Amino acid sequence: MAEPSSTPACPSSVPAHIAIIMDGNGRWAKSRGLPRIEGHRRGVETVRTTTFAARDLGVKVLTLYAFSVENWKRPQDEVGGLMTLLEFYLKKELKTFVEDRVRFRTIGRTSELPASVQKLLRETVEATKHFTEYTLVLALNYGARTEVVDAARAYATAVAAGRENLNDDSWATFNRYLSTADLPDPDLVIRTSGETRISNFLLMQAAYAEFFFTPTLWPDFTKADLAAAIADYNRRERRFGPTSEQLKPATR
């Protein structure tokens, strides 16, 4: 049997949950004189590579912001093109998810998406629901404020029905009404394309997330970029309130 190594274990840790605001598809296309939808098409390829890159790097949950509640305001042909791309993506990926044991799920008001997309989403979620090692979450028609409104409504209904007690003011209780109730909070939120805003993404869940902003446009984002984000995350000290000194074990 191998001797235990005398070198201390590497302190680096991989964030269990990474959430990505995939931004810059339009600018990627524009800079090449291509229609915006070409940028989205390339963006889908990056979704594929990143899904498996994250898993290879040891991530347990990957959440990708694919379509916000505000994105309906885009030109009709772009919205239609995005829905068509989503259909193609889901049709193609189902087999891969099953083969590679990826649990697929969504957050967001999916009931407002086209019926054909909803059907594919249901099928994909159903076919992969038993997998436990790795989860891919697509945020579709997602908005954090909408999510809070939905959660508050569900919570109020539960109080009215006597299933919840208004005296219980714990976050853990209210959290159960968010769409991410069964997921850990994101440890690391990445946004591509140089924008440094959150755009209505996981406002509650990212309360203590670390943020990483990169100028790389989403279609150009690679496994090396993801690894660089994780390396940067490992240089941070997550304190959650206490002082740095309190977190360090006393040295004598």
Vertex 82 angle, CA 39 and 179, to 5°: 115
Rounded Cα distance between 20 and 156, Å, is 31
| Least distance from Mg ion to the Cβ atom of residue 202, Å | 17
The contact pattern for ligand IPE, residues 4-33, with x = CB under 6 A and - = no contact, is: -----------------xxxxxxx------
Q: Which residues are catalytic?
A: 23, 71
Q: At what angle do helices 115-128 and 76-99 cross, to 10 degrees?
A: 20
Going residue by residue from 97 to 116, which x/- string records binding to Mg ion, judged by CB under 5 A?
--------------------
Give residues with Cβ within 8 angstroms of 246, minimum separation 6.
none
Residues in a beta bridge with 7:
none
Q: Is 205:180 a contact under the CB 8 Å cutoff? A: yes
Q: Which stretch binds ligand IPE (CB under 6 A): 152-160, 165-173, 190-198, 239-247?
A: 190-198
Q: Which of 192, 250, 188, 196 is nearest to 221 (CA)?
A: 192
- Using the contact rule CB under 6 A, the part of the chain among 11-19, 61-69, 123-131, 167-175 near ligand IPE is 61-69
Q: Which residues pair with 210 in a beta bridge?
A: 188
Nearer to ligand IPE, 108 or 174 (CB): 108
Whole-angstrom distance, CA of residue 48 vs CA of residue 70: 24
Site string for ligand IPE, 135-174 (x = CB under 6 A): ----------------------------------------
Bridge partners, 212 (sequence order): 190
The least CB distance from residue 200 to ligand IPE, in Å, is 8
Q: Is 180 in the site for ligand IPE (CB under 6 A)?
A: no
Kindly determine how many residues on this chain lie close enough to bind ligand IPE according to the rule CB under 6 A. 17
Q: Which of 19, 23, 174, 187 is close enough to bind Mg ion by CB under 5 A? A: 23
Backbone angles phi, psi at 193, to 5 degrees: 85, 5
Q: Contact residues for ligand IPE (CB under 6 A)?
A: 21-27, 65-68, 71, 82, 193, 195, 197, 199
Q: Contact residues for Mg ion (CB under 5 A)?
A: 23
